[in-house]
């Protein structure tokens, strides 16, 4: 079952067409929305939230038509915007409670729910501080909290891990993964950091200049050709390449001390690599069948 | 077998991770009130803005207190006769007290409106808060109406409460001298004048706040416009005291923002031009002219603010 | 070559839409007010109330005019020109323009967060500031000239304008612009929100200190400027003589400008929020 | 080249850098560290926008603060989004090129060349206000390389770029470094930095935590033994066999076919392991060290 179906949707800002007849099903769970700058990702999010009326085609989100039921739609959608945004002069609790009230929750429910969501987003101890004094990481969490407070069924996260340091990124990714699996909340993550998308999302939609470039779940897209092997040596060594070539391994690509070799069928690549290393005096630091990363898929889609 | 305390879930350990919210939801018609309530709550805190606001609110009561005090002093000295203070010039009635107090008070009323409203939209622009508001199920009009009502209630309170205090004092002390007989509808006139002043201020402050990037520039621009208009209107009507203004000049004199609602107040209080505490008041233009100008100001301010808030570029591509 | 680009950068700073609008409005303000007033009251000439009228509108303007020895016809063109030029052109347009433009050169770059591009160019900082300062002084003078000429045209009419006080005022304006711009640029390099400080100095001090009794005038820059372009003869016992005025104004210009250059070269300008 | 000795810097009570002594060599160095660790402060000190509160800092032997002689050899890309929105890309780069002291004649040619290298020729004549984040970043890099500086300092250049733009920028910085320039890049996106360089400088709590080649640093962290995961059908026998090696600390069987080994002396293990596999005829599907990447080294160092 899909949470949103788009049938040849076209969206334009005056003459400039941002999205041109896009037909795609957004599946449940966590979906990655990828694409270079200017591919129409944010325009699509704006339309699915009922801000923009599409030039032609139709979009049906959570069973509601985007053109007519924008307001009712935003009742069940949460947006975590890319830019820093907060309501000035409020501390975390009153800000999140106010966001709840704006979504229609009565004041008492909003206050209770604010505490709960802040605790969940890991801002428990900083909940009485003014939002202006927050660090980048905490600002990202409060943006998530204000989007979660009214219990949305669909969340749009725009660059959730942007500008976060590795530790902050780790926490945010676990949060996104936890919400989108088994809690009845579907999440659409629009991000440029592909390993992050790889770690949280199951499906991915790649857009390019307003068109759909790739679509599907990540596991199937990553099926690479098993014949290729990524080898990492302690130090680059051409001798190793020659001895490997003697045993029937062809060089596909190299980056510093990392090589990708194509090995004939049926050959035990472990044995082959260790023998070549032994012969050429190089030290193998690791090898594995080369899996296509999401970045490779993305780059292919961009050609 | 008595049941032990059972929590709502079958298993003894309840799951404290994220859960959905399916509690009650209010109807969208009242959504503008939560914006207003949010704004009003910011005046209860102990920050500089709230303190400045309460000081100005107290100053707003100043003129009424002073007039009440003088009324009390002169009437006790002259054996309880209110005419002693107000003078026996024809047409001078209790309404003159309230009109004169409003003339003295309009500076503080302006400052109250500035503190309450200058940051209402501009601070949101600066902190990019519009995305948060408009990503929620509220429309632009809810947002604007809420902000407008926030400023209106604050200024209306600052104008009405002191007037009511003086009204009650006169009611208690001077009904024997015909305070009620003199003008039974005075209380309604006071409410009307306060409402007009509050709505004019609310719309204009909202309009300027929407068009300026920071609260400081919004208050600077509104002050420049408010006092600029007042001083130009004053400069253009310099004349000798015993010389009357033609109707055109009187219109020019009232064409500043404060001129509009003070002129309307004079019409509503039906205070004919006469000398009171050696101050002279030019005859105001007729009320229907001024009320047209007032309506234009009120609607113009809201329209200007609405034009500035467009949802589309709220989320920049 | 790089100075040409700094010049263009500075001019672009000043031509921001909001600032250009303020400049145009202020240039027209005195002329419009003078015109409106001229039309309103051209027909109501009542000589016998001269002192009351002066006492009512603009006490400091009246002080200047009253102190001048030859009490000229109160309702003559000179009378109204003196009032409006002193109140509007000098006390308002010149000072506000100097303040708005002078504080803009640094505040604009800081707010746009583009100052780091300028400060990492191989151009000495004082050259950058000096070019920008020169543009500001030129712009302030230009706007004040326009407003003064407009007021003169309205009050005297094109025929008499050359013989009236306007040319003297026109001559004094550049000096005033130099002095005020030096002061405000110095303020702007040192303090973050110099605009607010400047406004307080202008409206809180300059405009009414000259009407205080005693020698408070010595502390107001405008008093010295007015001495250079007296409207009517100066009383002999006046505390400020033209010579003293010249000395003080030159000192303010030199110290202010050099101070601004020195501060700008020494101080660190980093946009606040990125000081992580 | 660029050397700091006991440099520290405060903003009022907020500490930016605390007693850092280090030097930057030609080539690409990545400046890493959690938010608020003082990366921006260090870059602003090097580019002469800030003065150190204590200690001294020298670039080509001179103090960099407001020092015009140095700036002609310096290219700086700020982290803030500040741009002259009313200029077009070409005007912006031309202005800064002229102010960088280029001779009048070759300003336009160098500008066109710089804009070409960052791939912005198509949008060069549009207003920067209308640029997307990626395009702004590219035009900011263009202004930094237009006067061919010897030192190139970039503050979070990869932030907000899409993968295509990121890869191109990484390649551009790589070739600038190969030309012998000193390129300093501060960034959070570790897996991107990993592909650019192995020279890192790690700041933590405003102090210098690690400086040098990532592999050497990883080897030095003996508090965290090396983990090596081996995928093999005969996992259990291999595990038994590996246990006799003296330098193997622990062996764990993850799933059915994955053996995880911990050792403090990785070199000894990597030397010995091929022989065991060849003798025992084990079939190895894959093996690598999960904590050999920059992110885990970063986490080990930060965890302390």
- Across the interface, do D66 and C119 touch by the CB < 8 Å criterion? yes
- pLDDT tens digits for A157-207? 998 988 788 888 888 999 999 888 888 899 999 998 898 998 899 999 999
Q: How confident is the model at residue D299 (pLDDT cuts 50, 70, 90)?
A: confident
Give the one of C46, C52, C57 whose C-beta lies nearest to B235's C-beta. Answer: C57
- pLDDT tens digits for A102-116? 998 998 899 999 999
The class of domain D222-303 in CATH terms is: alpha beta
Q: Which chains touch A (3 or more CB pairs under 8 A)?
A: B, D
Give the one of B236, B240, B241 whose C-beta lies nearest to C37's C-beta. Answer: B236
- pLDDT tens digits for A39-61? 888 888 888 988 888 888 888 99
Contact map slice: D 167-186 vs C, CB within 8 A: none
- Across the interface, do B18 and A98 touch by the CB < 8 Å criterion? no
- Across the interface, do B238 and C56 touch by the CB < 8 Å criterion? yes
Say what the alpha-carbon torsion angle B303, B306, B310, B311 is, to the nearest 10 degrees: -150
Per-residue DSSP letter, C69: S
- Between residues C44 and D117, the one the model is more confident about: D117
Per-10-residue mean pLDDT, chain B, length 317: 52 77 80 90 84 90 88 74 59 75 88 89 84 87 92 93 89 77 82 92 92 84 85 69 64 80 84 60 77 91 85 43
- pLDDT tens digits for D148-163? 999 999 998 888 788 8
| Mean pLDDT of all residues belonging to chain C | 77
- pLDDT tens digits for D260-293? 998 888 888 888 888 888 888 888 888 888 877 7
- Across the interface, do D164 and A36 touch by the CB < 8 Å criterion? yes
Which positions in chain C touch B239 (Cβ < 8 Å)?
41, 44
Q: Suggest the residue from A43, A79, A104 to mutate for an interface test with chain B (most B CBs closer than 10 A).
A: A104
The arrangement of secondary structure in A228-302, i.e. its CATH architecture, is 2-Layer Sandwich (3.30)
Mean pLDDT of A23-49: 88
Burial of D279 (0-12, 13-18, 19+ CB in 10 A): exposed
Nearest-angstrom CA–CA distance, C225 and C174: 11
- Across the interface, do D190 and A166 touch by the CB < 8 Å criterion? yes
Q: A151: left (phi > 0), else alpha (psi -120 to 50), else beta?
A: left
Query: Is C50 part of the contact surface with chain B (CB cutoff 8 Å)?
Result: no
- Across the interface, do C41 and B243 touch by the CB < 8 Å criterion? no
Q: Is the model's pLDDT at A73 over the cut of 70?
A: yes
Which positions in chain C touch D16 (Cβ < 8 Å)?
275-276
Mean pLDDT of A143-160: 92
User: Residue B276 has what pLDDT?
Assistant: 59
Give the one of D39, D80, D98 whose C-beta lies nearest to C2's C-beta. Answer: D98
Q: How confident is the model at residue D183 (pLDDT cuts 50, 70, 90)?
A: very high
Which positions in chain C touch D141 (Cβ < 8 Å)?
none
Q: Where are the domains of chain D?
A: 2-218, 222-303
Per the structure block, which two tokens stand in for C178?
């130099």
> How far does C40 lie from chain B, in Å, by closest CA?
8
Q: Please name the residues in contact with B91: beta carbons below 8 A apart, sequence gap of 6 or more.
A: B271, B272, B274
The arrangement of secondary structure in D2-218, i.e. its CATH architecture, is 3-Layer(aba) Sandwich (3.40)
User: Residue D304 has what pLDDT?
Assistant: 64
| Mean pLDDT of all residues belonging to chain A | 86
Which positions in chain A touch D134 (Cβ < 8 Å)?
36-38
Query: Is B50 part of the contact surface with chain A (CB cutoff 8 Å)?
Result: no
Q: Suggest the residue from B122, B208, B236, B279 to mutate for an interface test with chain C (most C CBs closer than 10 A).
A: B236
Which positions in chain D touch C106 (Cβ < 8 Å)?
none
- Across the interface, do A283 and D34 touch by the CB < 8 Å criterion? no
Nearest-angstrom CA–CA distance, D192 and D158: 9
Nearest-angstrom CA–CA distance, A102 and B134: 9
The answer to whether A207 touches A33, Cβ cutoff 8 Å, is yes
Query: Is B133 part of the contact surface with chain A (CB cutoff 8 Å)?
Result: yes
User: Residue A205 has what pLDDT?
Assistant: 92
Q: Which residue from B62, B153, B64 is spatially nearest to B116, judged by alpha carbons?
A: B153
Count of CB pairs separated by less than 8 Å, C with D: 94
User: Which stretch of A7-21, B210-224, B302-316, C143-157 has the lowest confidence by average pLDDT?
Assistant: B302-316
Count of CB pairs separated by less than 8 Å, B with C: 28
Give the one of B220, B232, B237 whose C-beta lies nearest to C33's C-beta. Answer: B232
- Across the interface, do B249 and C40 touch by the CB < 8 Å criterion? yes
Give the one of A135, A256, A277 whose C-beta lies nearest to D36's C-beta. Answer: A135
Q: Is the model's pLDDT at C155 over the cut of 50?
A: yes
Q: Give the distance, in angstroms, between the CA of residue A189 and the centroid of all CA atoms in the same chain.
A: 4
> How far does B138 lie from chain A, in Å, by closest CA?
7
Q: Where are the domains of chain A?
A: 2-222, 228-302
Domain A2-222 falls in which CATH fold? Rossmann fold (3.40.50)
Q: Suggest the residue from B218, B229, B239, B243 to mutate for an interface test with chain C (most C CBs closer than 10 A).
A: B239
User: Residue C56 has what pLDDT?
Assistant: 47
What is the 3-class SS of chain D, one letter each residue?
CEEEEEEEEEECCEEEEEEEEEEECCEEEEEECCCCCCHHHHHHHHCCCCCCCEEEEEECCECCCCCHHHHCCEEEECCCCCCCCCCEHHHHHHHHHHHCCCCCCCHHHHHHHHHHHCCCCCCCCCEHHHCCHHHHHHHHHHHHHCCCCCEEEEECCCCCCCHHHHHHHHHHHHHHHHCCCEEEEECCCHHHHHHHCCEEEEEECCEEEEEEEHHHHHHHCCCCCEEEEEECCCHHHHHHHHHCCCCEEEEEECCCCEEEEEECCHHHHHHHHHHHHHHHCCCCCEEECHHHCHHHHHHHHHHC
Give the one of B216, B235, B238 whose C-beta lies nearest to C53's C-beta. Answer: B238
Q: Suggest the residue from C40, C51, C80 to mutate for an interface test with chain B (most B CBs closer than 10 A).
A: C40
Mean pLDDT of C184-211: 81
- Across the interface, do C46 and B240 touch by the CB < 8 Å criterion? yes
- pLDDT tens digits for C5-59? 888 888 887 888 878 888 888 888 888 877 777 776 654 444 334 434 444 444 4
Q: Suggest the residue from C122, C265, C273 to mutate for an interface test with chain D (most D CBs closer than 10 A).
A: C122
User: Residue A224 has what pLDDT?
Assistant: 64
What is the pTM for the complete model shown? 0.80
Query: Is D81 part of the contact surface with chain C (CB cutoff 8 Å)?
Result: yes
Which positions in chain C touch B243 (Cβ < 8 Å)?
44, 46
- Across the interface, do D66 and C2 touch by the CB < 8 Å criterion? no
* CA distance readout (Å), C220 to C156, C206, C209, D20: 29, 6, 7, 50
- Across the interface, do B23 and A105 touch by the CB < 8 Å criterion? yes
> How far does C96 lie from chain D, in Å, by closest CA?
26
Which positions in chain C touch B252 (Cβ < 8 Å)?
40
Query: Is D161 part of the contact surface with chain A (CB cutoff 8 Å)?
Result: yes
Give the one of B23, B119, B317 whose C-beta lies nearest to A43's C-beta. Answer: B317
> Residue A65's beta-bridge partner residues?
A60
User: Residue C169 has what pLDDT?
Assistant: 83
- Across the interface, do D159 and A232 touch by the CB < 8 Å criterion? no
Mean pLDDT of A232-237: 80
Q: Which chains touch D (3 or more CB pairs under 8 A)?
A: A, C
């Amino acid at each position: 079952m899909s949470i949103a179906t788009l049938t040849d949707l076209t969206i334009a800002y005056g003459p400039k067409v941002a999205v041109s007849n896009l037909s795609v099903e957004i599946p449940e769970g966590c979906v990655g929305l990828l694409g270079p700058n200017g591919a129409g990702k944010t325009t699509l999010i704006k339309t699915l939230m009922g801000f923009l009326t599409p030039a032609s085609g139709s979009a049906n989100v959570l069973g509601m038509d985007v053109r007519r039921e924008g307001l009712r739609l935003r009742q069940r959608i949460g947006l975590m915007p890319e830019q820093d945004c907060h309501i000035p002069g409020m501390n975390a609790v009153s800000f999140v409670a106010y966001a709840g009230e704006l979504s229609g929750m009565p004041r008492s429910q909003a206050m209770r729910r604010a505490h709960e969501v802040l605790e969940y987003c890991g801002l428990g101890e900083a909940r009485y501080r003014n939002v202006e004094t927050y660090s980048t990481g905490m600002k990202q969490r409060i943006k998530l909290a204000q989007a979660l407070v009214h219990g949305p069924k669909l969340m749009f996260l725009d660059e959730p891990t942007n500008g976060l340091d590795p530790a902050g990124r780790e926490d945010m990714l676990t949060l996104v993964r936890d919400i989108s699996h088994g809690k009845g909340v579907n999440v659409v993550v629009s991000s440029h950091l592909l390993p992050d998308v790889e770690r949280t999302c199951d499906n991915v939609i790649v857009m390019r200049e307003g068109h759909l470039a790739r679509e599907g779940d990540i596991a199937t897209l990553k099926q690479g050709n098993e014949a290729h092997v990524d080898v990492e040596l302690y130090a680059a060594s051409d001798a190793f390449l020659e001895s490997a070539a003697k045993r029937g391994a062809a060089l596909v690509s190299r980056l510093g001390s990392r090589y990708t070799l194509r090995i004939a069928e049926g050959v035990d690549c472990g044995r082959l690599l260790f023998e070549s290393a032994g012969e050429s005096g190089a030290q193998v630091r690791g090898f594995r069948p080369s899996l296509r990363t999401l970045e490779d898929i993305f780059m292919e889609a961009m050609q | 077998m008595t049941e032990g305390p059972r929590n709502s879930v079958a298993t003894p350990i309840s799951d404290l991770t994220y859960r959905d919210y399916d509690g009650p939801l209010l109807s969208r018609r009242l959504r503008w009130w939560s914006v207003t309530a949010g704004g009003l709550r910011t005046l209860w805190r102990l920050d500089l803005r709230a303190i400045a606001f309460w000081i100005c609110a107290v100053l707003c009561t100043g003129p009424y207190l002073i007039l009440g005090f003088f009324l009390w002093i002169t009437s006790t000295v002259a054996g309880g006769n209110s005419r002693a203070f107000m003078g026996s010039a024809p047409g001078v009635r209790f309404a003159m007290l309230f009109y004169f107090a409003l003339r003295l008070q309009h500076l503080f009323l302006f400052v109250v409106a500035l503190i309450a409203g200058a940051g209402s939209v501009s601070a949101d622009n600066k902190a990019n808060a519009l995305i948060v508001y408009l990503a929620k199920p509220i429309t632009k009009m809810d947002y604007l109406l809420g902000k407008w009502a926030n400023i209106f209630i604050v200024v209306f309170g600052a104008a009405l409460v002191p007037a009511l205090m003086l009204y009650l004092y006169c009611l208690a002390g001077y009904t024997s001298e015909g305070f009620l007989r003199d003008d039974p509808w005075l209380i309604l006139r006071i409410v009307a004048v306060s409402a007009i002043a509050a709505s004019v201020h609310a719309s204009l402050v909202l309009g300027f706040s929407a068009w300026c990037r920071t609260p400081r520039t919004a208050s600077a621009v509104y002050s420049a416009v408010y006092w600029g208009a007042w001083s130009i209107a004053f400069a253009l009507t310099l004349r000798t005291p015993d010389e009357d203004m033609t109707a055109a000049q009187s219109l020019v004199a009232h064409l500043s923002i404060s001129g509009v609602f003070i002129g309307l107040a004079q019409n509503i209080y039906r205070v004919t031009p006469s000398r009171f505490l050696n101050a002279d008041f030019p005859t105001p233009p007729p009320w229907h002219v001024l009320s047209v100008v007032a309506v234009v100001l009120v609607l113009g301010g809201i329209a200007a603010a609405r034009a500035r808030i467009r949802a589309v570029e709220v989320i920049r591509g | 070559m790089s100075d040409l680009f700094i010049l263009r950068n500075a001019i672009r700073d000043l031509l921001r839409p909001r600032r250009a609008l303020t400049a145009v409005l202020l240039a027209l303000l005195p002329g419009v007010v003078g015109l409106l007033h001229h039309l309103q009251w051209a027909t109501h000439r009542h000589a016998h109330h001269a002192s009351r009228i002066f006492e009512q509108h603009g006490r400091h303007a009246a002080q200047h005019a009253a102190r001048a020895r030859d009490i000229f016809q109160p309702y003559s063109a000179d009378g109204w020109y003196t009032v409006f030029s002193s109140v509007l052109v000098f006390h308002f347009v010149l000072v506000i323009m100097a303040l708005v433009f002078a504080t803009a050169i640094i505040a604009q770059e800081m707010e746009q967060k583009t100052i780091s591009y300028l400060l990492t160019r191989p151009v000495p900082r004082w050259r950058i500031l000096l070019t920008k300062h020169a543009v500001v002084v030129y712009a302030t003078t230009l706007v004040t000239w326009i407003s003064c000429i407009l007021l003169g045209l309205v009050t005297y009419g094109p025929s008499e304008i050359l013989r009236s006080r306007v040319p003297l005022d026109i001559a004094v304006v550049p000096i005033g612009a130099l002095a005020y711009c030096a002061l405000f640029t110095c303020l702007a390099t040192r303090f973050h929100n110099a605009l607010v400080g400047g406004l307080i100095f202008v409206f809180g001090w300059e405009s009414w200190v000259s009407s205080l009794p005693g020698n408070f005038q010595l502390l107001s820059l405008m008093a010295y400027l007015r001495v250079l372009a007296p409207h009517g003869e100066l009383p002999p016992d006046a505390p400020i003589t033209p010579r003293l005025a010249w000395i003080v104004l030159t000192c303010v210009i030199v110290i202010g400008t050099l101070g601004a250059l020195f501060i700008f070269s020494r101080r660190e300008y980093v946009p606040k929020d990125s000081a992580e | 080249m660029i050397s700091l000795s006991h440099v520290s810097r405060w903003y009022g009570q907020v500490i930016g850098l605390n007693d850092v002594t280090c030097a930057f060599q030609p080539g690409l160095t990545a400046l890493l560290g959690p938010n608020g660790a003082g990366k921006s402060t260090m870059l602003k000190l090097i580019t002469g926008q800030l003065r150190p509160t204590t200690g001294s800092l020298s670039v080509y032997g001179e103090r960099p603060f407001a020092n015009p002689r140095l700036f002609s050899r310096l290219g700086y890309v700020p982290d803030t989004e500040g741009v002259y929105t009313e200029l077009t890309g070409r005007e912006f780069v031309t202005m800064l090129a002229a102010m960088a002291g280029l001779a009048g004649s070759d300003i336009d040619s160098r500008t066109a060349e710089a804009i070409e290298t960052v791939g912005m020729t198509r949008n060069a004549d549009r207003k920067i206000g209308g640029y997307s984040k990626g395009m702004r970043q590219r035009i900011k890099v263009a202004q930094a390389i237009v006067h061919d500086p010897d030192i190139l300092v970039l503050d979070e250049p990869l932030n907000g770029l899409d993968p295509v733009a990121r890869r191109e920028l990484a390649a551009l910085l790589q070739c600038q470094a190969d030309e012998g320039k000193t390129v300093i890049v501060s960034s959070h996106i570790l897996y991107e930095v990993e592909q650019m360089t192995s020279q890192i400088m790690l700041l933590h709590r405003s102090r210098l935590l690690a400086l040098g080649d990532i592999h050497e640093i990883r080897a030095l962290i003996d508090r965290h033994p090396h983990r090596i995961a081996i995928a093999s059908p005969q996992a259990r026998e291999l595990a038994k066999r590996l246990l006799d090696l003296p330098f193997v600390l622990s062996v764990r069987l993850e799933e059915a076919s994955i053996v995880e080994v911990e050792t403090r002396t990785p070199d000894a293990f990597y030397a010995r392991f091929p022989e065991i596999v060849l003798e025992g005829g084990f079939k190895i599907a894959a093996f690598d060290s999960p904590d050999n990447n920059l992110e885990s080294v970063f986490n080990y160092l930060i965890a302390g």
